[in-house]
Amino acid sequence: MRVAIFASGNGTNFEVLAKHFQSGDIPGELSLLFCNHPDAPVMKRAQRLGIPAESFTVKSCGGKEEYEKQLLQLLKKYQIDFIALAGYLRVVGPTILNQYEHRIVNLHPAWLPEYPGLHSIERAFNDQRKQTGVTVHYIDAGLDSGPIIAQRHVPILPSDTVETLEERVHETEHQLYPEAVKQVLTELEKEN
C-alpha cells in the first residue's frame, strides 16, 4: 500500500506517523506528504525525514474544483492507495472522496460526534466538560461524520488550562493514530 499524508500546519502527527512507517511498525510505504500551505513547518519535517512533499493552494489552482483535480492527478502520479489526514484543514471534496472511498482516515481532537469542526479542544474546555477525547474515523461527505475506527477519552482536569489540555490531547493523538492506521492498513493488506 502506498500512503499519502495530507497536512496543513506544524506536522507533529505527520512526523509521528512517518517514524512508524519508517520503522516498519505500520505496513505500507509512506510515499507522499501533501500540504496546502507551501510555507507550513510540516514541509521541513518531510524534507528532514526524506519523504517526498508537494504543495499548492486552492488560490494557485484558481478554485476548489481545479485544486481537487490537480490533487487527484498528484495522487495518481505517486500511485497512492490510501490517505491519512493529519491536521489537514480543508474539507475533502467529491473528486477525491469518490476515488478513495473508505480509504481516507482522519484524526479529530474530540470524542465524536461531540465537537466536530474547528476549535474542538477549546470548545470542550469552555463547556466545562469532565472529559473530551480523540477520534480516528473514515471520512465521508459530512463534517467529521464518517464511521469511527478508534476513540480514546482524555480527562479534563480541574487544574487544566486550554494549553495543558491541548498537550494531553496531542499526546493521546500520537499514541492512538499510529495504532489505528496500523490496524486499518493491516486489514486492507489482508483483503488484497
- How far apart are the C-alpha atoms of 171 and 165, rounded to whole Å? 10
Q: What angle in degrees, to the nearest 10, is found between the helix axes of 12-22 and 41-49?
A: 10
64 assigned to a ligand binding site: yes
Place of cell 465537537: 115
11 assigned to a ligand binding site: yes
Q: Which three cell numbers stand for residue 170?
A: 496531542
- Comparing CA positions, the residue from 48, 45, 36 lying closest to residue 7 is 36
- How far apart are the C-alpha atoms of 150 and 173, rounded to whole Å? 11
Known catalytic membership, residue 102: no
59 assigned to a ligand binding site: no
Cis, peptide link before residue 109, omega less than 30° from 0: no
Catalytic residue among 108, 153, 170, 174: 108
Question: Residues annotated as binding site?
Answer: 11-13, 64, 106
What are the residue numbers of the active site? 108
